[in-house]
Structure 1
Amino acid sequence: MTLHKPDGRIVEKGEPVRQRVLDGAERLLRSGKAEFSMRDLAAEAGVSFATPFNQFGSKAGIMHALSGRRIETMTSRYAAASPPANSARRVRLAVEVAVAVMLDEPAVNRAVMGSIGTAGPAQADALVRSTAYWERALEGEPGMPGPAEPFVKELPRQLAFAFRGALSFWSAGELPDAELGPAALAIADTLMLHVAAR
């Protein structure tokens, strides 16, 4: 939405300005400024000092929104990849897509993960978003009556926990870039085998 001020200035509102702020935050992270201030961000995004606060509440809110961007990218790439019929293969594809997104810009994504890994005033929804991503990989999976049924229902959430765990070690520098994919695939395979064995 664009508003025209009485003095002739054009002011963006709503989603366009939110995206400008997020784009500015990504540019700062890309340049190695993970500790950027909100004033730095406002200058980079070309908005008033109050705008990032008005749109996101805090720096933590911005970092959570950047995390949400990553999950949105994962979801769109996964949908475009023609997922296979077999659920185990779909989950492996979802892992490969998610890892590729994170490795597109490792320094930026490590900073995002490091930030959202600490408690803050922002309303967090990373678990909800991540669970929804893994649910897509399991769409159409028939119910499994018997002992496995409760576990299958929880599987998207368990996959979210597993991938976040691998990312936490990666973002802390304990897991090299080259090992993130194999580690994430191994834990996903283990979860899927556990379901199949029940």
Structure 2
Amino acid sequence: MPTRKPALPAPALSTRERVLGAAERLLATGRPEFSMRDLATEAGVSFATPFNQFGSKVAIMHALSAERIEAMHARLAASAPPEPGPARVLAAMEIAASVMLERPEVNRVVMGALGAPAAAPGHVFARSRALWAEAMGDAATFADPAGANALLPDQLAFAFRGVLSFWTAGEIADADLVASARRAAAMAMLGFAPPEMRRVLLATCSR
């Protein structure tokens, strides 16, 4: 019989990954107020390391947010959504909301932290805008492709962030997040949708 090859060990985590993983674990166990010393202990690194890697706790939350948006990009690319256009944007909204629902107790804290004052502006808006621009594609299926390309990625980013803010505050239940995100996207796209798609978007808004 052929001998079974031993499984290869998992690649070692980078220091950055260890710190972010520790932050997620602390948030998941109900410790959103964790200190940077708590974080260093959980990650098994020196007290200075989280500061050297990120600079502040707010920056760590921004890094966790960036990981979520990267996951949304990856799942959109790996899925088989409709062709670029309104239908694909709705599918992307569903994917994005589903990512947030995977660890709601962590992601609510992350979202809450994004609105806190920081020494320098973050990049959440730019990352979110890029996600919706990817979902839209070249906007050829919209009634006004040039206008859609110029305006809709921003409006979709605003719409998704708005829905997430009410979800973070507990005013939108987990069970309603996907539908709420889809409705917000449908409303944002109505002004750029061709007649046949307007019917679909209006139906989405009423659900």
* Aligned with residue 47 of structure 1, among 41, 45, 48: 45
Q: Deviations over 1:43-89 (max 9, x none)?
A: 00011000000010000000000000000011101110022115111
Match of 1:149 in 2: 146
Distance of 1:22 and 1:109 partners within structure 2: 13
* Aligned with residue 72 of structure 1, among 70, 73, 76: 70
Distance of 2:152 and 2:45 partners within structure 1: 42
Kindly tell me: are residues 122 and 47 of structure 1, through their superposed partners in 2, closer, same or farther at Cα, counting changes over 3 Å?
A: farther
* Aligned with residue 102 of structure 2, among 98, 101, 104: 104
Check conservation: 1:113, 1:168, Cα contact below 8 A.
Answer: yes
Q: Deviations over 1:143-188 (max 9, x none)?
A: 8787x73344111111001000000000011111111111111111
* Aligned with residue 125 of structure 1, among 120, 123, 126: 123
Distance of 1:197 and 1:191 partners within structure 2: 13
Check conservation: 1:144, 1:152, Cα contact below 8 A.
Answer: no
Distance of 2:93 and 2:143 partners within structure 1: 26
Match of 2:28 in 1: 30
Q: Deviations over 1:86-144 (max 9, x none)?
A: 51110011001001000001000000000112222254000011001111101132287
Distance of 1:105 and 1:25 partners within structure 2: 13
Kindly tell me: are residues 150 and 23 of structure 1, through their superposed partners in 2, closer, same or farther at Cα, counting changes over 3 Å?
A: same
Match of 2:176 in 1: 179
Kindly tell me: are residues 143 and 87 of structure 1, through their superposed partners in 2, closer, same or farther at Cα, counting changes over 3 Å?
A: closer
Check conservation: 1:60, 1:121, Cα contact below 8 A.
Answer: no
Check conservation: 2:138, 2:149, Cα contact below 8 A.
Answer: no
Check conservation: 1:58, 1:122, Cα contact below 8 A.
Answer: no
Match of 1:138 in 2: 136
Check conservation: 2:112, 2:168, Cα contact below 8 A.
Answer: yes
Distance of 1:34 and 1:52 partners within structure 2: 16
Question: How well do the aligned residues superpose, as a CA RMSD in angstroms?
Answer: 1.9
- What displacement does 1:191 show? 1.6
Q: Mark the runs of 5 or more structure 1 residues left unpaired by the alignment.
A: 1-14
Q: Across the two proteins, how many residue pairs are aligned to each other?
A: 183
Distance of 1:158 and 1:144 partners within structure 2: 15
The residue identity in structure 2 corresponding to 1:187 is: A
Distance of 1:143 and 1:103 partners within structure 2: 30
